[in-house]
Structure 1
Amino acid sequence: MISSESLIFRSFGDPLKVLEISKVEVPKEPKEDQVLVQWIASPINPLDINKIQGAYAVRNELPAIGGSEGVGRVVKVGRNVTKFKEGDHVTTFALGTVFWTEYCIVDEEDLYKIDNRIDIAVAATFMINPPTAWIMLRDFVDLEKGDYVIQNAANSGVGRAVIELCAAWGIKTINIVRNREDVGMLKTELWKLGADHVFTEEEFAEMGKDLMKEIMHPPKLALNGVGGRSALVICSTLARGGTCVTYGGMSKKAHEFSTSGLVFNDIRIRGIAVTFWIKEGDNEEKFKKCFEELQNLAVIGKLTAPPMDRVRFTDHKEAIRKTMKGRNKKQLFIINESYRQNSKI
């Protein structure tokens, strides 16, 4: 057995109180169709906080190890494994996989290989935000070059991925962010990623109608990660029959949609969670295309990671605190210390 340092919670509650460092025993020898993975890095996502609080849609069995995505290195493969070899870099989308631990056994069929030219921060955050952006842009509305997409939470991980994908595909974006002290710097960041228009909520309330008159066609697609009145605002710009896809609720307020928009403008309201979407219909095949396309863009630098702090497990309380407070850099656990100074895996 291998002694694997992990971040564990034994009860649901405040992550600052229930999350602790502990050792777990992991088999040295994977079974015939399994792979022993050494995790390199894993971020803290909002859903990780929700899982620890017991507020996520799917509850972990306790005790549980934290984390929802990450990048790892293959240490050993079972005798029937053919897709992977020692040293390959991998990730998984399987529900129930543990990430905030040094080692883990994963079934071969649940693993995906990651190109080793991809930056560690991108590779570690490749399983939730970029696929969510890809699916929303590809699977709900037929978008063509020159079409407009409007989104709130434009500075979130998903929002940044939306901007970069749209820039790569020739789709224009209208982006809304919350006001803050450094909003000028934030706007510059998003413009550099390829954003066409960036507004604070207050600016869009004042200038949004004028912009809608200027553009040739109203947006076909609105992407909602905030909820509350912000959902109402972006939906009000949609073309007749347009679609609003919700992937989050950062405001923690009920999502607002107008009766007139639904009845007289025939807008569609949809939702997306990657791990559930993959299991529906023929989506596994679609996802293979998604994963390949995202990797290709990451290799050539057209898909990047949001700004991050690299932290150790021993710093988990401060990292969790920053995540829960918001408006801080994303927190990335570097689990394998040999990769701490390396930008590439």
Structure 2
Amino acid sequence: MQRRAIKYSQFGDPREVTELITETISTDLEPNRILIRWLASPINPLDINKIQGVYIFQPELPVIAGTEGVGRVVKVGSSVIRVAPGDKAAIYAIQSSCWADYSVVDESDIVKIDQRITPIQGATMMVNPPTAWLMFKKGELERGDWIIQNSANSGVGRAVIEMAKEKGYHTINIVRDRSNIKELKDELTRLGGDIVWTEEEVKTEGRAFKGRPKLALNGVGGKSCLQISSLLGRGGMLITYGGMSKKAHEISTSALVFNNITAVGLSNPPMMMIDGENADEYQRMLSEIQDMYIRGVLHPPPMDEHPLDNYKIAITNSMDGKHAKQIFVMEEEKQSKL
């Protein structure tokens, strides 16, 4: 069968090395393989880094781009038991190829999801909400505990706010100053954020704040990491899950020495194993996240939707940092209303 896909054959600037191709793929499936029709797939920072060739895990070239997405199962191999034709399935795998109409994937790389989950929800539920969920677990939080985070307007940051509210945690949310800062503060407060400060306001408001967070979540690095680590309470934990500033992570010396804080890193791919020792916890986490989506407690971040044909615009917008999150919504999905 014919499929369209966004492909790259060399590492480099994603705006230059990617191309939209049409190619033939076989539908004669090996026993453990699945033919899936993609419904939606976002552009994540990880996708950009993979194409640039700077991500820690590099795919073999040439390769179809895309790491996270949701699709409809079309056909399954003879030994597949996890899903059946017609099921919705989500994927998050370093070697996945979901910037396409169709792909053939391993059963071990996908998970069946509730039919009530929308394509936008399903396409963005495998990275950001699990990252928030895992950081809460690692921080050993209890109801009433405080969290401070930078990058509060990111996909992870928004998931932290909404999921923390649901679990009874309080959040201090740090964002960069901007022309529409009042609107952003109001928006994050509506999501459930208790406090929203700019990086400049932390310098004054942070000193005056009497509470001491138990957990600091760092997705930025640089001076921003220094700010949030300095506000941790005694025995608090700093978790770094990203470095959007591309600067070294700075940590408060006084917090390390006198407050005995712990600094750790977190990446969710080791947890994203459907089989193995984490299987039960993995399924419990995904069930909890899906339930929050269905109940309207958790929402995807604001997104700009694009067909595959608009891939150059979508990638450019994703890289310039001035737009909402970019997501490919396949044309067939809009037509079929699946």
Q: TM-score range by the shorter chain?
A: over 0.9
Partner of 2:130: 131
Shift in Å at residue 33 of structure 1? 2.1
Map 1:266-285 to 2 at 5 A.
266-278=260-272, 282-285=277-280
Alignment deviations for residues 280-327 of structure 1 (CA, whole Å, 9 cap, x no partner): 983333222111110111111111101111101211111111111103
Unaligned runs of 5+ in 1: none
Partner of 2:73: 74
Partner of 1:286: 281
CA distance in 1 between partners of 2:279 and 2:227 (Å): 33
Partner of 2:185: 187
Give the stretch that moved more between structures: 90-99 or 275-284: 275-284
Contact 2:67/2:91, CA 8 A, preserved across alignment: no
* Secondary structure in structure 1 of the residue aligned to 2:120: helix
Query: Which has the higher relative contact order, 1 or 2, with Cα contacts under 8 A spaced 6 or more apart?
Result: 1
Map 1:85-104 to 2 at 5 A.
85-104=84-103
CA distance in 1 between partners of 2:277 and 2:78 (Å): 30
Partner of 2:48: 49
Q: CA RMSD in A?
A: 1.7
Contact 2:89/2:111, CA 8 A, preserved across alignment: yes
CA distance in 2 between partners of 1:111 and 1:193 (Å): 30
CA distance in 2 between partners of 1:206 and 1:241 (Å): 23
CA distance in 1 between partners of 2:307 and 2:168 (Å): 39
Unaligned runs of 5+ in 2: none
Partner of 2:312: 317
Partner of 2:255: 261
CA distance in 1 between partners of 2:118 and 2:262 (Å): 37
CA distance in 1 between partners of 2:244 and 2:309 (Å): 28
CA distance in 1 between partners of 2:81 and 2:45 (Å): 35
Contact 2:65/2:96, CA 8 A, preserved across alignment: no
Contact 2:214/2:237, CA 8 A, preserved across alignment: yes
Counterpart code for 2:226? L
CA distance in 2 between partners of 1:341 and 1:203 (Å): 47
Residue 298 (structure 1) aligned with residue 297 (structure 2): no
Q: Give the paired residue count.
A: 337
CA distance in 2 between partners of 1:284 and 1:203 (Å): 42
* Secondary structure in structure 1 of the residue aligned to 2:105: strand
Partner of 1:121: 120
CA distance in 1 between partners of 2:311 and 2:179 (Å): 27
Alignment deviations for residues 187-246 of structure 1 (CA, whole Å, 9 cap, x no partner): 1111111111101111121211112x1x3xx11100000100100110111111111111
CA distance in 1 between partners of 2:236 and 2:279 (Å): 26
Give the stretch that moved more between structures: 149-158 or 259-268: 259-268
Map 1:167-186 to 2 at 5 A.
167-186=165-184
Residue 106 (structure 1) aligned with residue 105 (structure 2): yes
Contact 1:39/1:99, CA 8 A, preserved across alignment: yes
Q: Percent identity of the aligned residues? A: 48
Partner of 1:203: 201
Alignment deviations for residues 14-61 of structure 1 (CA, whole Å, 9 cap, x no partner): 111101011233221222222111111101111111111101111111
Contact 1:225/1:248, CA 8 A, preserved across alignment: yes
* Secondary structure in structure 2 of the residue aligned to 1:340: helix
* Secondary structure in structure 2 of the residue aligned to 1:276: coil
Give the stretch that moved more between structures: 253-262 or 296-305: 253-262
Counterpart code for 1:41? A
Contact 1:29/1:36, CA 8 A, preserved across alignment: no
Q: 1:77 to 1:277 in 2, by over 3 A?
A: closer
Partner of 1:249: 243
* Secondary structure in structure 1 of the residue aligned to 2:68: coil
Instruction: Please give the TM-score of this superposition, normalised by the length of structure 2.
Output: 0.95
Q: 1:43 to 1:197 in 2, by over 3 A?
A: same
Partner of 1:83: 82
CA distance in 2 between partners of 1:258 and 1:171 (Å): 24
Contact 2:67/2:93, CA 8 A, preserved across alignment: no
CA distance in 2 between partners of 1:118 and 1:188 (Å): 27
